[in-house]
């Protein structure tokens, strides 16, 4: 056995330790090279992206195409509103942003009209920016003048012709309160698209000199007051089931026919005709299928030929022998019955009038005239103002719901 000095033994231990360290480093380096992939390689790996159908709308201000996933049930109006709130908010003044001092209190003799105008104006830019038309030759009107006009309009709507004209207006402006729909109808019955002075400027259009603005009413939500600061009538209004504002501001909108400038993108005013709209027909059938409501076109020779169709809890039946336009009218009417009775549980005695009127509104929105018989039945329920109010509100609710659902059908 060879004798090794202490110094040699120490050197051996140090050498062995360094060998172990070197081996460890080498093994780690080899492992890293074998298992790790460069970042660039990861980026080159094929990827499959599953895209969901999208709701698409073009912003009328910046012309940007806005997409929103279909699965969350958003409508094109929802997508447009969110985009404008985010990108163009400085150009739009919402009702809630109106200063309290800018509103006028509704005079006592017109307090009963608050129920007609208490809803905020549509909050997206295509509707209205709440700025008065100070740059035009429009004389400002006080709130009592506009309310007087509204009161006359409410009383005159009992006339069959006026009622048909009102429903035609509703088909184009269903987002507005019933009171503002009546005001638009009275001042500009041929209006097809209205917006405020500054909104038209954002769209590259200008109100023509000498044009008279359409006066409508914007609710102003006042600051919270102590009970002793308010009159008793205000307190009674605010303690109703749905509190209503008592301060309003007169604002002005202008129809597209009163402006000039750049053509509007994706803008088409359908002409009201009695010809069947096949796209509307197909979309209505799709919507009913999505709602789980069957639509049957099977022959029923034993049924009175005067019956064009009906709605029941089992579904909707439409007479197959009728011309396509009549089938579309019947389908619209029975779908309105489905919502009136099956969804909103409106009493049967009112549902017929509401269904016929809502069908007219939806059809007119898409340029289809249902041919309603001059609305002579309106006098049967319009004599009672409360009944009139409830029915107009229900017509707007049913028609508005169907129109919103049509936006979701792809």
Top pLDDT among 166 and 37 is at 166
pLDDT in the model for residue 258: 94
In contact, 363 and 322? CB cutoff 8 Å: no
Strongest mean pLDDT among 45-59, 68-82, 84-98, 292-306:
292-306
Task: Quote the percentage of the chain above a pLDDT of 70.
Answer: 61
Top pLDDT among 387 and 139 is at 387
Q: In this structure, what token pair is assigned to residue 274?
A: 């009695």
> β-pairing, 247-255 with 295-296?
unpaired
Mean pLDDT of the residues in the chain: 76
Contacts of 62 (CB under 8 A, 6+ apart): 87, 88
In the structure, what pLDDT confidence band is assigned to residue 25 with cuts at 50, 70 and 90? low
pLDDT in the model for residue 126: 41
- Work out the average pLDDT over 154-162: 81
- Work out the average pLDDT over 301-319: 93
Strongest mean pLDDT among 41-45, 72-76, 304-308:
304-308
Determine the Cα–Cα distance for residues 271 and 268; give it in Å rounded to an integer: 9
Left, alpha or beta for 367 (phi > 0: left; psi -120 to 50: alpha)? left
In contact, 172 and 191? CB cutoff 8 Å: yes
Top pLDDT among 340 and 69 is at 340
- Work out the average pLDDT over 301-317: 93
Nearest to 206 by CA among 262, 139, 132: 262
pLDDT in the model for residue 385: 67
pLDDT in the model for residue 332: 96
pTM greater than 0.95 (yes/no): no
Determine the Cα–Cα distance for residues 328 and 281; give it in Å rounded to an integer: 6
Which SS3 state, helix, strand or coil, does residue 346 take? coil
Determine the Cα–Cα distance for residues 65 and 83; give it in Å rounded to an integer: 10
pLDDT in the model for residue 56: 65
pLDDT at 96 over 60: no
pLDDT in the model for residue 44: 38
pLDDT in the model for residue 50: 44
pLDDT in the model for residue 72: 52
Q: Contacts from 63-69 at CB under 8 Å and sequence distance 24+?
A: 63/265
pLDDT in the model for residue 235: 44
Provide the 10 A C-beta neighbour count for residue 57.
22
In contact, 160 and 131? CB cutoff 8 Å: no
pLDDT in the model for residue 47: 42
**How many C-alpha atoms does 253 have within 13 Å on its Cβ side?**
28
pLDDT in the model for residue 100: 46
pLDDT at 12 over 70: no
pLDDT in the model for residue 170: 94
- From first CA to last CA, the distance across the chain in angstroms is 94
- Work out the average pLDDT over 327-342: 95
Top pLDDT among 64 and 30 is at 64
* Per-residue pLDDT reduced to its tens digit, 365-404: 999 998 775 466 555 565 666 777 778 999 999 999 999 9
pLDDT at 87 over 80: no
- Work out the average pLDDT over 107-124: 82
* Per-residue pLDDT reduced to its tens digit, 239-285: 454 567 788 888 888 999 999 998 876 656 677 788 899 999 999 99
Which SS3 state, helix, strand or coil, does residue 124 take? coil
In contact, 363 and 370? CB cutoff 8 Å: yes
Degrees, nearest 5: CA angle 79-85-87: 95
* Calculated CA dihedral for residues 340, 344, 348, 349, nearest 10 degrees: -90
In the structure, what pLDDT confidence band is assigned to residue 329 with cuts at 50, 70 and 90? very high
Helices (H), 239-323: 278-290
pLDDT in the model for residue 214: 93
């Amino acid at each position: 056995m060879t004798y090794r000095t202490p110094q040699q033994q120490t050197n051996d231990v140090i050498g062995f330790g360094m060998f172990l360290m070197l081996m460890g480093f080498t093994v780690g380096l080899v492992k890293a090279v074998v298992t790790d992939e460069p970042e660039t390689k990861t980026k080159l790996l094929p990827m499959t992206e599953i895209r969901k159908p999208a709701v698409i709308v073009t912003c009328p201000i910046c012309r940007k195409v806005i997409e929103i996933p279909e699965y969350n049930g958003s409508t094109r109006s929802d997508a447009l509103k969110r985009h404008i709130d985010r990108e163009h908010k400085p150009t739009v003044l919402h009702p809630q942003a109106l200063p309290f001092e800018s509103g006028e209190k509704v005079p006592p003799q017109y307090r009963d009209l608050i129920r007609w105008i208490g809803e905020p104006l549509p909050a997206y830019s295509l509707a209205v920016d709440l700025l008065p038309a100070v740059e035009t030759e429009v004389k400002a009107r006080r709130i009592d003048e506009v309310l007087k006009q509204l009161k006359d309009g409410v009383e005159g709507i009992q006339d069959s012709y006026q009622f048909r004209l009102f429903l035609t207006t509703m088909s184009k402006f269903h987002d507005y309160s019933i009171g503002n729909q009546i005001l638009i109808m009275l001042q500009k019955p041929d209006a097809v698209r209205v917006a405020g002075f500054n909104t038209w400027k954002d769209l590259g259009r200008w109100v023509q000199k000498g044009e008279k603005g359409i006066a409508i009413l914007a609710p102003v939500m006042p600051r919270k007051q102590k009970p002793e600061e308010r009159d008793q009538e205000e307190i009674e209004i605010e303690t109703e089931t749905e509190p209503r504002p008592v301060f309003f501001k007169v604002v002005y909108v202008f129809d597209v026919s009163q402006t000039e400038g750049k053509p509007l993108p994706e803008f088409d005013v359908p002409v009201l005709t009695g010809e069947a709209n096949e796209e509307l027909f197909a979309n209505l059938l799709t919507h009913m299928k999505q709602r789980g409501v069957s639509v049957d076109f099977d022959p029923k020779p034993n049924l009175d030929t005067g019956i064009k169709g009906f709605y029941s809890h089992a579904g909707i039946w439409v007479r197959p022998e009728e011309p396509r336009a009549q089938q579309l009218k019947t389908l619209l009417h029975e779908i309105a019955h489905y919502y009136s009775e099956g969804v909103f549980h409106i009493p049967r005695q009112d549902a017929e009038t509401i269904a016929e009127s809502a069908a007219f509104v939806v059809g007119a929105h898409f340029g289809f005239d249902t041919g309603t018989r001059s609305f002579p039945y309106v006098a049967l329920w319009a004599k009672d103002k409360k009944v009139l109010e409830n029915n107009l509100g229900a017509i707007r609710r049913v028609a508005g719901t169907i129109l919103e659902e049509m936006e979701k059908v792809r």
